[in-house]
Amino acid sequence: MSEAPTNQAYEYKDVKRILDLTILKIILAAANLQISDLFRGKETLTSDEIATLTKCNSNAMYRTLRALASIGIFKEVGNKVFEQTEVSRLLDTDHPSRMRDYVLMRGAQSEYMAFNKFEYSLKTGKSAFNEAHGVNWIEYLHNHKDEAYHFDRAMQMMTSTVTESLNTKASSLFNDSKNIIDVGGGNGTLALSLCKNESLAQLEKVTVFDLAEVVDRAKQNNSHEKLQFASGDFFGDIDVKADTYCLKSVCHDWGDEDCIKIFKSIRRSMEKQSANKEELRSKKIVIIEMGVPEDNEQHHVKFSDLLMMVFCDDGARERTPTEFQSILEKGGFELTNTIPLEVRNINAIEARPKVE
């Protein structure tokens, strides 16, 4: 019979993992109440002042701020007197990181309801979110505008961070590109950043390709002389002239068979535009996705993969490099280059058509 662990640090580490959920709920409350915004123009505030401004219980507010200060969110500088910290400022409603939006997104009741059904995903391999809410994630956001607002803001900032890294770490992937199509390009953030990349002087146009309603929204928020828009379904015909096809955060939304269908659709588009094998071989896909490490170490991407399993339709997942190589080959491509972007374990994966 094994003995109970006696190492205090080991025990605390395990307890802390359990407490992380409690900590998130407390941070969520601070974000909802916009406590960080109350410090604008003020060096310090007392917990009583904050309680009055937020219409909360004074004793409860002090105990909450004391707990938050213990993890670096606010700092107690006197008896019940608090000031901002670099971490607490992240919760400002107008902070460029949009961390408040991310906290509100991750802490939403809809997410907790979905994870309460985690065993459903575990037993069936199907979406627990769909089971909990009766609709899929996209339909849910369409009917819950507040959550959709915070989701969009959080995703836009995360995309901006990734595109900034892409344009510095992996710009070489586009050195021979004249016409790029951003397949499933969403709000156009990636496409616009490529248009503005001064090192890509040879670039003639970048086309955002997505469903009609998505493209209509992207048109309202983006403008550049090289930026174009086209609507369609990436499972069907992609009738846009291009030598480089970008897929950012698309593959993880789909199961292997659907990804293979997308790759085959892109390959058909490439073949239609190619006069010979050499021209076909000159075209490429650039996939921008998280990579699941192929070892036993703890890593956030392995848990992001479970988010995909819970939230998205059947088969959505993050993938290992080996898994990407497998579905690319089945879709008619071979992996030719992988460049780590050094952001959240995201890679830029280059693949070219296999030519006999």
* Whether residues 32 and 128 fall in one domain: no
Tokens of 70: 């213990």
299 in active site: no
Domain residue limits at 71 = 8-95
What is the torsional sign of CA 193, 292, 91, 102? positive
**104 falls within a domain:** no
Same domain membership, residue 197 and residue 136: yes
Report the pLDDT value the prediction gives residue 293, as an integer from 0 to 100.
93
Cα–Cα distance measured from residue 104 to residue 24, given in angstroms and rounded to the nearest whole number:
10
Establish if 1 belongs to a structural domain.
Answer: no
Segment (H or E) for 81: strand 81-83
Cα–Cα dist 33/48, whole Å: 15
Same structural domain for residues 40 and 157?
no
One of 150, 224, 252, 300 is an active-site residue; which one?
252
Whether residue 17 is contained in a domain is answered as yes
- In the predicted model, what is the mean pLDDT of residues 203-217? 92
Q: Is residue 198 part of a domain?
A: yes
| Residue 3: inside a domain | no
When divided into structural domains, the chain yields a total of 2
60 and 138 in a single domain? The answer is no
* Residue 136 phi, psi (nearest 5): -80, 170
Euclidean distance between CA atoms 234 and 272, whole angstroms: 15
Are 59 and 154 part of one and the same domain?
A: no
Domain end position, chosen among 68, 95, 122:
95
Q: Report the chain's mean pLDDT, rounded to a whole number.
A: 91
Question: Does 304 share its domain with 341?
Answer: yes
Q: Is the pLDDT of residue 87 over 90?
A: yes
Reported as a single tens digit per residue, the pLDDT across 238-291 is 999 999 999 999 999 999 999 999 999 999 999 999 999 999 999 999 999 999
CATH number at residue 227: 3.40.50.150
Report yes or no on 2 lying in a domain.
no
Supply the CATH number for residue 22's domain. Answer: 1.10.10.10
Residue 168 domain-assigned (yes or no)? yes
Per DSSP, the three-state class of 338 is strand
Q: Are 138 and 275 within one domain?
A: yes
pTM attached to this predicted model: 0.81
- The arithmetic mean of pLDDT across residues 88-117, rounded, is 92
Q: Of 64, 95, 126, which residue sits at a domain end?
A: 95
